[in-house]
Amino acid sequence: MQDFDLMINAREVISPADGLVGPASIGIRDGKIASVHPRSTGVTNTRANTSINVETGILLPGLVDLHAHPALDGSRFGIDPDKHLLPRGSTTVLSQGDAGARNIDDYIRHTIEASNTRIKLAINFCAAGESNPVGRFLSIDEADVTECVEAVRRGGSHIWGISLNIAFIQGRNIDPIEVLRRGIEAADQAECPVMFGATKSADIPLDEQLKWLRPGDVMTYCFHSGEGSIVENGQVLNCAWEARERGVLFDVGDGTAAFGFDTTEAAISEGFLPDTISSDFYRAHLDAGQEHDLPLVVSKLIAAGMAAEDCWPRITSSPADVLGLADQVGRIRIGMNADLCVLEAGDEPESLRDGHGQTRMGVRLRPVLTIKGGEIVEAS
């Protein structure tokens, strides 16, 4: 007789990295996945303290959001991860630069260690992080290589890499390429990857920015529309293809204005799919009363022509691999953390909006159940 804390029986389970598609029963013990059985084989000689039957929706590994803004304080973009991210299916989240070298210790203590959500930090190359309400890099002194490297080392396992966003630099006469050069130098010294945000303008050609990125670095906001986009005249730029060829990864980072249906549709039609899908969920969504989460971003990508089966690994195993957590999350496999979520599709197509007011009709995916470490997460 096998005893489990929780048994989940689901009609549709999808774990791309495990080749798991179809009905299955999953046993959870001590916060870990203890058994995975296709329902066709039956599950015998088991008992569980709690059982859940998932009759509708898709059971996935807990979602891994590679770009969001979990921060309980100290960041102008910050949202409460346990209130706004975890109940929406995202059990693991990378903070995109919410803290820099001068406030990393507070961030680790007040947000990472105080949250149920699993959080990694891409430390902001701007030493002040996002603590200044008017923006980043008010002075070139905030782009300090040594200060950043020391903070990366001080942060230890909490740090994934460096957030290097050179858009909307606030200080006068600061060259974005010089900030980029210094950020890459810091990443080289710290031996870590970079999450890169381009200038989002045509002032500096995108190829001049992408050439600095190394294999394993990630360009976020990859489907930004307008000046500085990876798409011009309906085609993906050669520099984006070349960057991908040498190992640069491309991440969605939806946000409020960094996703355009025109760019997305053009890229997808050419086979330029994102390596990871992320929400860039931050305070502006809450201030505007906008419902936002990672499943919504997936819904928009499907509406733009991306196949659903291509989306699932990009919100589970692929970002887990990028974070170096392939042995912990992003998969439904014995021994993994028991992080799971259920998404349900709406009955009818609805209007989905990009960051520029353009809309497409599509079926909206919504999270209806999240399990983190074997515990059911209560909706906020």
CA torsion sign for 358, 363, 368, 370 is: negative
Mean pLDDT of the chain: 96
Give helix then strand counts, H and E, for the chain: 11, 19
Instruction: For residue 176, name the pLDDT band (cuts at 50, 70, 90).
Output: very high
Instruction: For residue 80, name the pLDDT band (cuts at 50, 70, 90).
Output: very high
Instruction: For residue 379, name the pLDDT band (cuts at 50, 70, 90).
Output: confident
In the predicted structure, residue 156 carries a pLDDT above the cut 60: yes
User: What number is the average pLDDT over the span 359-365?
Assistant: 98
**94: closest CA among 193, 213, 199?**
193
**227: closest CA among 242, 214, 237?**
237
CA atoms within 13 A on the CB side of 216: 14
Count other Cβ atoms within 10 Å, centred on residue 353: 14
For 271-293, the pLDDT digits (tens) are: 999 999 999 999 999 999 999 99
Angle at 254 between CA 252 and CA 255, to 5 degrees: 145
Fill in the amino acid letter for 272: F
Q: What pLDDT is recorded for position 202?
A: 87
> Dmax over Cα atoms in the chain, in whole Å?
71
In the predicted structure, residue 242 carries a pLDDT above the cut 80: yes
In the predicted structure, residue 169 carries a pLDDT above the cut 80: yes
Instruction: For residue 380, name the pLDDT band (cuts at 50, 70, 90).
Output: low
Q: What pLDDT is recorded for position 303?
A: 98
In the predicted structure, residue 1 carries a pLDDT above the cut 90: no
- Note whether 31 and 71 are within 8 A (CB): no
Look up tokens 């209007």; give the residue.
351
**186: closest CA among 227, 246, 233, 125?**
125
Instruction: For residue 38, name the pLDDT band (cuts at 50, 70, 90).
Output: confident
In the predicted structure, residue 42 carries a pLDDT above the cut 80: no
Look up tokens 């986009």; give the residue.
229
Instruction: For residue 40, name the pLDDT band (cuts at 50, 70, 90).
Output: low
In the predicted structure, residue 251 carries a pLDDT above the cut 90: yes
Q: What is the DSSP letter of 50?
A: E
- Note whether 378 and 88 are within 8 A (CB): no
Q: What pLDDT is recorded for position 39?
A: 73
Q: What pLDDT is recorded for position 43?
A: 57
d(CA 75, CA 16): 35
Q: DSSP per residue over 110-140, as a string?
A: IIITT-SSEEEEEEESSTTTT-STT-S-SSG
Look up tokens 């396992």; give the residue.
157
For 194-219, the pLDDT digits (tens) are: 999 999 888 999 999 999 999 999 99
User: What number is the average pLDDT over the span 306-315?
Assistant: 98
Spatial neighbors of 89 by CB under 8 A, at least 6 apart, are 60, 62, 63, 293, 294, 295, 341, 343, 367, 370
Contacts 24+ apart (CB under 8 A), 179-182: 179/125, 179/137, 179/140, 179/143, 180/209, 180/212, 181/212, 182/125, 182/143, 182/144, 182/145
Contacts 24+ apart (CB under 8 A), 170-179: 170/134, 170/135, 170/136, 170/137, 170/138, 171/137, 171/138, 171/139, 171/140, 171/142, 174/137, 174/139, 174/140, 174/143, 176/204, 177/204, 177/208, 177/209, 178/140, 178/143, 179/125, 179/137, 179/140, 179/143
Residue count of the chain: 380
Q: Which domains does the chain possess?
A: 2-60+333-344+357-376 (2.30.40.10), 61-322 (3.20.20.140)
Q: What pLDDT is recorded for position 7?
A: 95
pLDDT above 90 as % of the chain? 95
For 92-131, the pLDDT digits (tens) are: 999 999 999 999 999 999 999 999 999 999 999 999 999 9
- Note whether 360 and 300 are within 8 A (CB): yes
